[in-house]
Amino acid sequence: MNRFLDSDVFYAFRTSPVAIVSLIVTVLMVLAAVFAPLIATTNPFDPASLNLMNGFTAPMEPNAFTGESFFLGTDDQGRDVFSTILYGLRISLFVGVAAVMLAMVIGIFLGLLSGYVGGWTETIIMRAADVQLTFPSILVAMLIFGVAKGVTPVEYRDQMAIWVLILAIGLSDWVQFARVVRGATLVEKSKDYVAAARLIGRSPLTIMIRHILPNVLSPVLVIATISLALAIIAEATLSFLGVGAPATQPSLGTLIRIGQGFLFSGEWWILLFPACTLLVLALAVNLLGDWLRDALNPRLR
Amino acid sequence: MLSFIVKRVGQSVLVLLVTGLVAFSMFTFVGDPIDNMLGQERTMEDVERLRAQLGLDKPFVVQYFRFLEQAAQGNFGISYRQGRPVAEILMERAPATLELAAVSGVLAIVMGIGLGVFTAIRRNGVAANLIMSISLIGVSLPTFLIGILLIYLFSVELGWLPSFGRGETVHIGGWSTGFLTESGLKALILPAITLGLYQMTLIMRLVRSEMLEVLRQDYIRFARARGLGDRVVNFRHALKNTMVPVITVIGLQLGSIIAFAIITETVFQWPGVGLLFINAIQFVDIPVMAAYLMLISVMFVAINLLVDILYAMIDPRLRAAS
C-alpha cells in the first residue's frame, strides 16, 4: 500500500484535479447502479408499485390527481424517472463492463496467440483484425445484433436482448486489444525469462498465460478504460435506435428513446435527466481513460 | 508498384468474398425461407418442389456462388417485410442518404479545415481555446444526443426548422432531390449538421495539430524572415504541407459518414438507406440486411483500396515495406 502511495502513478493522480473528479463521479455512478434497489424510491418495473394517475408529473411538483411529488418527475406510465435512471444506469454499466470484458478476453487470447505462435496463425488473426477495422465498430455491432436477433427464437428475443447486446459490442471491439497485446508479446517473447521458461519445459500455453500475460497488462488496462466509455456510448446508441435493450429492461439509451417521444408535448424531464446521466458517465470514464493513458505512458508526458 | 496494386486488389476481393459469405449465411442461419414463403397448408410435395425450384437442394458452395452471381448483378431478392425487390427499395432510398452525406461531408471538410487553421494560428487566443474546449465536448457527445439537442432548440423552442423527414422532393429521372425546394433545403440543415459535426471536429483537430507541427519548421521561419506576409506563409506554405494526412483521413471518413448516417437518419426519420437498415434489423428482414452489408462493404473496401494506392503513389517507402 505504501509502495502504491509513493508511486509515480499515484502522484500523477493526486496532482490532477480532472482525474480525481472523474474518478469520484465514476465511482459514485457505479455505487448508485449497484445499490439501485436500495436507493430507488420505487421499483419501476414492479407493476404493483405504479399508479397510472401519477403519469407526467413534473419534477418537484405535486401531481394534480394524487398529490404525490417526485424528485425528477414521472414518465407517461407514472414511473418515477429517478428510479428508472438508476435501474437504467445499472443495465448500461453492466452491458458496458461485460462487453469490454468479453472483448478483452478474446483480444488478449488472440493477441497472445498470434504474437507467440506467429506464422499462419498470426497472419489469419491479424488479417481478420484488419478487415474488421475497416468497418466502424458501431456498424459491426449492429450487424452482429441483427444476425443474433434473427437466430434467437421469437419468444426469447426480449429476454436475450441484453446478452445479444453484450455479444455484439464485445465482438465489435476485440481488435484493439489483440493488436496491442500482440505488439507487446512480440517484444516480451525475445526476453531471457521466456527462453528460461521454455528451457525448463513449460508448455507454450503456460508461458503465454503465466509468464507473458502479466507483463503486457498495463496497456490493456488503458485500452479497457477507453473502450468502456465507447462501449457505454455504443450501447446507448444501439438502444436508442431500437436495436438494443428492450423497453421491458430499459438502459439509459432506451430511456432517451422513450423520452424523445415526449419532447414535443413539453415533458422535457423524461428525456433530459437520462441524457444528462449518460453524458456525465461517458465523459467521466473518457477523461479517466485519457488520464490513465498519459500516466502509464511516461513518454507522452 | 504494379505488384503492390495487384496484391491489394487481391486482398480486397478476398474481403468481399468473406463478407459475402457472412451475408449469405444469414439466410441459412435464420430460419428456412420455405417456411416464410409457403403458408400453413402445404404438402411435402409443395415443399420439395419449391426447394428444387429455388435451388435450395444444391450444396452450400453452389448456392453461395449463385448468391454472389445474383448480388453482382444487383439482385438481392425480395424484402420479407415490404414484399418488393430489395434493389428497387435501395434505389429509391439512396438519393436521400447520398444528398445528406454529401452536404455534411462538404460542411465537415470546409468548416474543419477552416477552424483547424484558425485555432492553429491563434493558438493562444480566447476564441481558439473556446473552440477547442467545445470540440472536446463534441467528441464525447453521442451523435443522437446532438441531433435531439438541435431538434429541441430549432424545432421545438424556436420552430424555425422541421424536425423530421425530407420536405418536398423533386423527381428528376430516377433521382429524387431535396435541393430544389425550400422545404427540402430547410429539412436538410439539422441532419447535415448532426452528421457532419463529429467528422468536423476530427478534421479540425487533425489540421490543427499538423499545422502546429509544420509552423515549427525552419522553412516557415525562413519564409517569415524573407518578409512574406502572414497569409502567404500560413496558407501557401504551411497548410499545403499538412494536406497529405488530412486527405487520407478525409478519405477514410467518407465511409464513416455513410455508416453514421444510420443514427442521424433514425433521429430525424430521414427516409434514407440507414433508416431502412435499422428497420430491417428490427423486423429481421434478412434480404435487406444482406444487401446493405454487401453494399457498404463494397464501398468501404473500394475507399480503403483507393486510399492505400494513393498513399503508395505519394510515399514510396510504403511500397518497399509491403
Give chain A as a DSSP string.
-HHHHHSHHHHHHHT-HHHHHHHHHHHHHHHHHHTHHHH-SS-TT-GGG--GGGTTPPTTSB-TTT--B-TT-B-TT--BHHHHHHHHHHHHHHHHHHHHHHHHHHHHHHHHHHHHH-HHHHHHHHHHHHHHHTS-HHHHHHHHHHHHHHHS-GGGHHHHHHHHHHHHHHHTSHHHHHHHHHHHHHHHHTSHHHHHHHHTT--HHHIIIIIIGGGGHHHHHHHHHHHHHHHHHHHHHHHHHTSSS-TTS--HHHHHHHHHTTTTTT-THHHHHHHHHHHHHHHHHHHHHHHHHHHH-GGG-
The count of structural domains within chain B is 1
What average pLDDT does range B173-197 have in this prediction? 79
Residue B200 or A297, more confident: B200
Residue B223 lies in a domain: yes
User: Of B259, B278, B304, which has the smallest distance from its Cβ to A242's Cβ?
Assistant: B278
**Between A156 and B113, residue with greater pLDDT:** B113
pLDDT value of residue A71: 64
Is the pLDDT reported for residue A147 higher than 70?
A: yes
Out of B278, B286, B289, closest to residue A241 by CB: B278
Any domain includes B104: yes
- Average pLDDT score over chain B: 79
Classified as helix, coil or strand, B176 is strand
Partner residue opposite A243 with nearest CB, options B137, B281, B300: B281
Q: Identify the pLDDT of residue A107.
A: 93
Q: Within an 8 Å CB–CB cutoff, is residue B273 touching chain A?
A: no
Q: May I ask the CATH class of domain A16-38+81-283+291-300? A: mainly alpha
Mean of pLDDT values over A53-76: 65
> Does a structural domain hold residue B77?
no
Mark yes or no for CB contact A241/B151 under 8 Å. no
pLDDT (0 to 100) of residue A102: 95
pLDDT, position B319: 58
Cα nearest neighbour of A237 on chain B: B144
The residue of B17, B144, B282, B299 whose CB has the most chain A CBs within 10 angstroms, and thus the best one to mutate to test that interface, is B144
| Domain carrying residue B172 | 93-284+293-315
Q: Is residue B60 part of a domain?
A: no
**pTM of the entire predicted model:** 0.81
Mean pLDDT of chain A: 81
The verdict on B298 touching A (C-beta cutoff 8 Å) is no
Is A147–B29 a contact, with Cβ atoms under 8 angstroms apart? Answer: yes
pLDDT in tens, B118-157: 888 887 888 888 888 787 777 777 888 888 888 888 887 7
Say if B50 falls within a structural domain: no
pLDDT digits 0-9 by tens, A86-131 = 888 888 999 999 999 999 999 999 999 998 888 888 888 888 888 7
| Facing residue for A147 by CB, picked from B15, B26, B156 | B26
Cβ–Cβ pairs < 8 A, chains A and B? 93
Say if B6 falls within a structural domain.
no
Range A294-300 average pLDDT: 63
Q: Which residue has the higher pLDDT, B189 or B33?
A: B189
Look up the ipTM and state it.
Answer: 0.76
B180, part of any domain: yes
| Residue B68 domain flag | no
Stretch B172-184: mean pLDDT:
73
Q: What is the mean pLDDT of residues B198-209?
A: 86
Any bridge partners for residue B177, and if so which? Answer: B170
CB contact under 8 A, B26 and A150: yes
Specify the pLDDT at position A63: 64
Per-residue pLDDT tens digits for B262-305:
888 888 888 888 888 888 888 777 888 888 888 888 888 888 88
